[in-house]
Structure 1
Amino acid sequence: MIHILVAETSPLASQLLADGLRRSRTPKFEVSIPPSLSPDACLAEIARTRPNVAVLALNLQNEPLSAMEVIRDLHSQGVETKCIVLLEQSDRNLVIENFRAGASGVFPRSHSPQMLARCIESVHAGQIWASSQELHYVLAELRKAKPINIVDAKGRVLLSVREAQVVRLVAEGLSNREISQHLSLSEHTVKNYLFRIFEKLGVSTRVELVLYSMARREEQQVVPRQCTVPMLAR
């Protein structure tokens, strides 16, 4: 059972979407709606209930781009709920900014409820949901940015063996709790490792870390088997 929070542009739209998802046979969803659809209320409800996945309208209560602010705040609070943002159209800048904020997927409203159920299942499994064109937008933008410094000026590797293990497990879609269990560490220690990794590599979210890794691999044209990035292109 996957716990989902749905926050659409209105209570009626939220209820219709929630009802549609509840009818899904595979996978099965437990769907909740926040008591208010304001950005602050959505943030508070997600932080309180910790759903597996949140499906958010881009403009909550008609506040422009408010879903991105909610996602940024969730990341700053250490909430591991994965977020999918509903878009009216696949606008290049909106796609880039949503992934930069930390969204795990973007989903066009024109697609079917069955496709949304598939999107939620994939994101819950640790994948990134984007069409081939949307992924192209993001990778093209990342190539313009300062590259990740994997080694220092003397060619020494910046990441320790343990940090590299954490990066690999993040890329496989594992949560902090799952990483802590896999490496026999406390969740607090995993968070400290991630803080240092973000600082060393110049990234700020888990999604950005995975996407930067994808951009780097594309440039190198060599993808190590053990570091396969989970990604689903529609």
Structure 2
Amino acid sequence: MDSSARNIRIVIADDHTMFRDGLRRVLETDPHFQIVGEAADGLEAVRRVRELAPDILLLDLSMPRHSGWEALQELERLALRARTVVVAAAMDKDEVVEALRLGARGVVLKESASELLVDGIRAVMAGDYWVGDVGVSELVQAVRRIVSHLGRAAQHRNFGLTEREMEIMAAVVGGYANKDIAQSFCLSERTIKNHLTNIFDKLGVSSRLELALFAVNHQLVTHDSSLGGSATNKVSTSAPRR
């Protein structure tokens, strides 16, 4: 069923009662949003998600007793169907990527207009990632930094990717634009785009950000995701998705 044709069931997790009340009032102006529960800490958030099976969990990260970060890890372990949108006072790009890596599907800052949160909820329900106005290329660069810090070897499972597709995927995670990838492998940009289309189809992703997150989550790239080029070769905010 189309998510826009039915109620979207939401749990709000934040340790500030006034913020929860305000968020409830804002969201309940939309007839398709139904607030089914609230939580004041991470433990309660996980419990509410298990009990109520909401579509969306709106999760603050800075809560007492059990933080939102710990809740994200627990929800990822339990593999519950609720999609988490982090609603935080402030986050740097590395924290945004780490939240997405732990299973969050969206990030919205508390200072954002309420319309941005509504758009984010709808985007996440449609199966997309939502990062507000944070540039995709900035997040890809943050993914690269996290990969370098992980320093783990890639898993043997390659999801049907060829060796060349694995190389191109690693270059995308490294933050390189199609033009630079093509030059490195002595291929045309069209060929690189065709490879990316195949990679997206095999992995079930639809953007460079989703590809980077998938690769990090499944340890498909090592800490060396470099073409050996300079920082000026990195992907720009206007780079094509494929």
Q: Scaled by the length of structure 1, what TM-score is found?
A: 0.62
In structure 1, distance between residues paired with 2:126 and 2:88? 22
The Cα of 1:133 is off from its aligned counterpart by 3.4
Would you say the 8 A contact 1:82–1:104 is kept in 2? yes
In structure 2, which of residues 26, 37, 43 is the aligned counterpart of residue 33 of structure 1?
37
The Cα of 1:229 is off from its aligned counterpart by 1.4
The Cα of 1:132 is off from its aligned counterpart by 5.4
Would you say the 8 A contact 2:56–2:121 is kept in 1? yes
Q: Which residue of 1 aligns with 2:197?
A: 224
- Aligned pairs for 1:99-118 (under 5 A) are 99-118=100-119
The one-letter code of the counterpart of 1:24 is D
The one-letter code of the counterpart of 2:51 is R
Q: Secondary structure at the match of 2:70?
A: helix
Q: Which residue of 2 aligns with 1:57?
A: 60
Would you say the 8 A contact 1:86–1:109 is kept in 2? yes
- Cα shift readout 1:96-140 (whole Å, capped 9, x = no counterpart): 321222211110111111221110010111110114535334311
* Compared CA separation, residues 83 and 224, structure 1 to 2 (3 A): same
In structure 2, distance between residues paired with 1:213 and 1:130? 22
Would you say the 8 A contact 2:141–2:174 is kept in 1? no
The Cα of 1:85 is off from its aligned counterpart by 0.9
- Say whether 1:44 aligns with 2:2: no
* Compared CA separation, residues 8 and 147, structure 1 to 2 (3 A): same
Greater Cα shift, 36-45 or 129-138: 129-138
The Cα of 1:160 is off from its aligned counterpart by 5.0
* Compared CA separation, residues 106 and 148, structure 1 to 2 (3 A): farther
Return the index of the structure with the highest Cα Rg.
Answer: 2
Q: Which residue of 2 aligns with 1:208?
A: none
* Compared CA separation, residues 216 and 49, structure 1 to 2 (3 A): farther
In structure 1, distance between residues paired with 2:72 and 2:11? 13
Q: Secondary structure at the match of 2:73?
A: helix
Q: Secondary structure at the match of 2:137?
A: helix
Greater Cα shift, 81-90 or 51-60: 81-90
* Compared CA separation, residues 148 and 19, structure 1 to 2 (3 A): farther
Would you say the 8 A contact 2:97–2:143 is kept in 1? no
* Compared CA separation, residues 215 and 89, structure 1 to 2 (3 A): same
Q: Scaled by the length of structure 2, what TM-score is found?
A: 0.60
The one-letter code of the counterpart of 1:224 is T
| Number of residue pairs the alignment of both structures matches | 176
| RMSD of equivalent CA atoms | 3.6
Would you say the 8 A contact 1:96–1:141 is kept in 2? yes
In structure 2, distance between residues paired with 1:216 and 1:47? 37
Q: Secondary structure at the match of 2:15?
A: coil
Could you list the runs of 5+ residues in structure 1 that have no partner in the other structure? 165-200, 202-210
Would you say the 8 A contact 1:18–1:32 is kept in 2? no
Q: Which residue of 2 aligns with 1:17?
A: 23
The Cα of 1:14 is off from its aligned counterpart by 0.8
The Cα of 1:214 is off from its aligned counterpart by 6.7
Between the aligned residues of both structures, percent identity stands at 16
The Cα of 1:141 is off from its aligned counterpart by 3.0
In structure 1, distance between residues paired with 2:152 and 2:76? 23
